[in-house]
Amino acid sequence: YKEAIKDRNLQVTAHEGFMASLPAEEVALWEEICAEWEDAAFPKDEVYNPFVIEEECK
């Protein structure tokens, strides 16, 4: 489990660094969208799904 804790800490540090590199208003919007998704009852048909990719990146 100690190796898993090291991996988790590395992921947390990477995530924090990535989020710090983004515009604060974009991060706030993303967090709001994700919170709405998490709080929605099933089925989640009434809220925007932030995890669906509408189009492929090229």
- 49 band by pLDDT with thresholds 50, 70 and 90: very high
Give the number of C-alpha atoms closer than 13 A to the C-alpha of residue 24, restricted to the C-beta side: 0
Model pLDDT for residues 8-46, shown as the tens digit of each residue: 999 999 999 999 999 999 999 999 999 999 999 999 999
Q: Does residue 49 contact residue 37 with C-beta atoms inside 8 Å?
A: yes
Q: How far apart are CA 49 and CA 58, in angstroms?
A: 22
Question: Domain count of the chain?
Answer: 1
- Structural domain for 50, as ranges: 1-58
User: What's the pTM value of the predicted model, to 2 decimals?
Assistant: 0.68
Rounded to the nearest angstrom, the gap between the alpha carbon of residue 49 and the centroid of all alpha carbons in its chain is 12
Q: How far apart are CA 25 and CA 40, in angstroms?
A: 23
Assign 42 to helix, strand or coil.
coil
